[in-house]
Amino acid sequence: MVVTFSFWTQNYLDLDTTFTLANYREAWTDPLYRELTLRSLRISLVVTVVTVLLAFPIAYHVSFHVHHRKALWLFLITVPFWTSYLLRVFLWKVILGYNGVLNSALLGLGLIDEPLSFILYNANAVVITLAHAWAPFAILPIFVALERIDRSLLEAAKDLGDGPVRSFFRITLPLAMPGVVAATIIVLIPTVGDYITPRLVGGTEGLMISNMIQVQFGKANNAPLGAALAVSSMFIVGGISLLIFFATRKIGRGGAD
Amino acid sequence: MLDTEKPHARTIIELDGVTKNFGAVQALKGITANIREGEFFSLLGPSGCGKTTLLRMIAGFDDPTTGTITIDNKAMAGIAANHRPTNMVFQSYAIFPHLSVADNVGYGLKKRRLPKAEYKREVEQALEMVDLGGYGPRAAHTLSGGQRQRVALARALIMKPKVVLLDEPLSALDKKLRDQMQLELRQLQRSVGITFILVTHDQEEALIMSDRIAVMFDGQIEQLATPEELYRRPVNQRVASFIGVMNFLEARATKSSETHVSLDVQALGKIDIPRAGLPDGMKPEEIHRVGVRPEMMTILIDGAPSAERIVEGEVVETSYYGDMTYYSVRLNGLEAPVTISMRNTAGRAVLRPGETARVGFATDSIIVFR
Ligand SMILES: Nc1ncnc2c1ncn2[C@@H]1O[C@H](COP(=O)(O)OP(=O)(O)OP(=O)(O)O)[C@@H](O)[C@H]1O
Ligand SMILES: [Mg+2]
């Protein structure tokens, strides 16, 4: 439905259902939309990278250094993430805000003279909040991939002369790659389209394309343009995901096969 | 003595009072042994006796609780697996699934930063050594079990280690392939001259392949000897029944002189044995059990070639193996049947259960146990 909508035109109160590409032209050429799309992509790519980089050591620790009750550990690690999404966003707002917990603490400790303002109502806040929100979804696939690595492979690598760092990059990481790719895609896709987080903690600098889509469907009352924006970003995200998928698959195989 | 034994070779691995505790479990209770350079050495014993534990400590994956391991005159305490002159062939082979066959084999060489051409040549040579020439570009996951085993072996040999450690390398293969690999592995070891330490629970495999065998039970070495010596002169009943088949019979000494001991053996009667046949330091009055191997007894048919001594019994069961027949015979005056093996020569009849058998044996085939 969204796709068909995107080829129509909005005339104040009614829809002109003749086929047109005008919405797409506007979506792809208007500097505002382009800027928002690029910012969305930038933010979500950063979110994805940050999330995966945070998730990997956690998953690694549980998989390799916890020997009993791994499931319980995983559960405990992910418990903070099962609270309501909105609640968590507000929580971050309280923590990161101008008079928030973080600033008060830093002021109280005398580490800063005036509240830090770069942490809320901008892209940084969006990144922190989203990375926190999606961490469990990144931890799980990476954990599963790490669990599936036959430990005798690591012993074999050691036996053949590898120290821990070398065997990590030659064995562990390539074999965990499917999990890392899954985590990347799982985080990337929903964060591009997220509109609650940027609205609440992003300020004007932190607004993303999805907020604009929401505006087009709502206040601006131009559903076809909103639909065109939505479809466009869907294609871009899909393309990037496929790119990541194939690129890492090639690297993971080491060129063989 | 077999010519394969190398009594004058220098010691490459010295195990001195090695113990290992896993919590309350004492997996190894003091292992002391010297392994000689260039020999094919086997650790043989039933499941759970500590073979893998010992091998892993030699490789450096685990540390002894007490005792020392010396390899090539260097104490190994505190030296990690990646710095030891040993390489392992894992039971699961541990082939890296994301690498090609060539990359698997060359894995350990990469660190040495050889010129590309030399690296390639080394890998190809190693592959040829295990009959996998030309397999280099293949993906590891396309290999059969036997081929994986060869890749694992090539990957270890290419490192030119002082010692190759093999943990039940043949147990995952089917019988035919296993028999073939036993011989190949043996030949390969001879041609490269590297010390091999093989872990196995298959006594036949150990006998076929090894220069010397350490028989382990419950975390201890019970006997360390050549295959022939193990078979002919097992030190105790445990070793005797683990290596091949052994018939045990109750016995006691009735008379002893400077040179001989007279035994009264269940079902076999009076037998004189030389005193030298007793285990070291054993007194005649301590004798209560003797053994005789199945092939040391003969079933005499139609009064054909006679034997030193003859007793009678009833055939309980017959197992026909083509070249051999195994008989279960209940000797007169004995409750449990004994096992007798006979070579099936041309024209030789096979006795059926229920028939009476005349069993011949030589008195010098009797083994006395502690
Ligand atoms: N990591 C460990 N933690 C606790 N106990 C262990 C560990 N490894 C081995 N053991 C125990 O030590 C004993 C010897 O084990 P080991 O694996 O060396 O036996 P094995 O002779 O190789 O047997 P198998 O033929 O079944 O492989 C066993 O009782 C085993 O349960
Ligand atoms: Mg074992």
Q: Rg of chain A over CA atoms, in angstroms?
A: 22
List the pLDDT tens digit at each of the 257 positions of chain A.
677 767 777 776 677 777 777 777 777 777 777 777 777 788 778 888 988 998 999 899 989 888 888 878 877 777 766 666 677 777 777 777 777 777 777 877 777 777 776 666 666 777 777 777 788 888 989 999 999 999 999 999 999 999 999 999 999 999 999 899 889 888 888 777 666 666 666 666 666 777 777 777 776 677 777 787 888 778 887 888 888 778 777 665 543 33
Q: Cα–Cα–Cα angle for A99, A101, A105, nearest 5°?
A: 100
Question: Could you tell me the distance, in angstroms and rounded to a whole number, from the CA of residue B44 to the centre of ligand 2?
Answer: 10
Size (chain B), residues: 370
Closest-CA distance, A113 to chain B, in angstroms, reads 52
C-alpha distances out from residue A161 to A165, B78, B270, Å: 11, 15, 63
Which of B31, B43, B53, B197 to mutate for ligand 1's pocket (most ligand atoms within 8 Å of CB)? Answer: B53
Domain match, B249 and B228 both: no
Point out the residue among A159, A161, A166 whose CB comes nearest to the CB of B59. Answer: A159
**What is the pLDDT at residue A80?**
66
Q: Residue B287 has what pLDDT?
A: 87
Residues 6+ apart with CB under 8 A from A143: A59, A62, A63, A74, A179
Total structural domains in chain B? 2
The Cα A221–Cα A162 span in angstroms is 62
The CA distance from A62 to A147, in Å, is 9
Give the SS3 label for residue A194.
coil
Are residues B97 and B228 both part of a single domain?
yes
Q: Is residue B239 part of a domain?
A: no
Break chain A into its structural domains and give their ranges.
Answer: 2-251
Query: In this structure, what token pair is assigned to residue A214?
Result: 């929401």
Pocket test for ligand 1, best of B29, B52, B57, B242 (most atoms within 8 A of CB): B52
Domain-ending residue, one of B174, B204, B233: B233
Q: Are residues B337 and B363 in the same domain?
A: yes
Looking at the fold, whether B125 and B151 belong to one and the same domain comes out as yes
Q: Are residue B262 and residue B150 in the same domain, yes or no?
A: no
List residues, by chain if needed, whose CB lies under 5 Å from ion ligand 2.
Answer: B 52
Please report whether residue B326 resides in a domain: yes
Residue B240 lies in a domain: no
Q: What is the identity of the amino acid at A202?
A: G
Answer yes or no: do B227 and B312 share one domain: no
Nearest atom (ligand 1) to Cα of B50: 18
Distances B348 to A109, B301, B354 between C-alpha atoms, Å: 101, 9, 18
The answer for residues whose C-beta is within 8 angstroms of residue A222's C-beta and 6 or more apart is A10, A216
Q: Which domain holds residue B313?
A: 245-370
The 3-class SS string of chain B reads CCCCCCCCCCEEEEEEEEEEEECCEEEEEEEEEEEECCCEEEEECCCCCCHHHHHHHHHCCCCCCEEEEEECCEECCCCCHHHCCEEEECCCCCCCCCCEHHHHHCCCCHHHCCCHHHHHHHHHHHHHHCCCCCCCCCEHHHCCHHHHHHHHHHHHHCCCCCEEEEECCCCCCCHHHHHHHHHHHHHHHHHHCCEEEEEECCHHHHHHHCCEEEEEECCEEEEEECHHHHHHCCCCHHHHHHCCCCEEEEEEEEEECCCEEEEEECCCEEEEEEHHHCCCCCCHHHCCEEEECHHHEEEECCCCCCCCEEEEEEEEEEEECCCEEEEEEEECCCCCCEEEEEECCCCCCCCCCCCEEEEEECHHHCEECC
The DSSP output letter for A9 is E
CB-defined site of ligand 1, < 6 Å: B 22, 25, 27, 45, 47-53, 201
**C-alpha of residue B219 to centroid of ligand 2, in Å:** 12
Q: Which residue of chain A comes nearest to B157, CA vs CA? A: A160
Report the complex ipTM: 0.82
H or E stretch covering A255: none
Are residues B137 and A256, on separate chains, in Cβ contact within 8 Å?
A: yes
Q: What are phi and psi of B325, to 5 degrees?
A: -125, 135
Contact at CB, B98 and A252, closer than 8 angstroms: yes
Selection from A33, A2, A15 nearest residue A221 by Cα = A15
Pick the CATH number of A2-251 from 1.20.58.1030, 1.20.58.220, 1.10.3720.10, 3.40.50.10490: 1.10.3720.10
- Greatest Cα-to-Cα distance within chain A, rounded to the nearest angstrom: 74
Q: What CATH number is attached to the domain comprising B24?
A: 3.40.50.300
User: Which of B188, B207, B233 is at the close of a domain?
Assistant: B233
- Based on the domain organization, do B267 and B228 belong to the same domain? no
pLDDT at A255: 39
| Residue labelled with tokens 């629970």 | B201
Q: Evaluate whether B55 touches B167 at the Cβ level (below 8 Å).
A: yes
Q: Which residues of chain B have pLDDT under 50?
A: 1-3
Q: Show which of B233, B253, B279 is a domain's final residue.
A: B233
3-class DSSP assignment, residue A101: helix
B343 forms beta bridges with B324
CATH of residue B287: 2.40.50.140
pLDDT value of position B51: 95
Identify whether residues B44 and B81 lie together within a single domain.
yes
Q: Which residues pair with B31 in a beta bridge?
A: B18
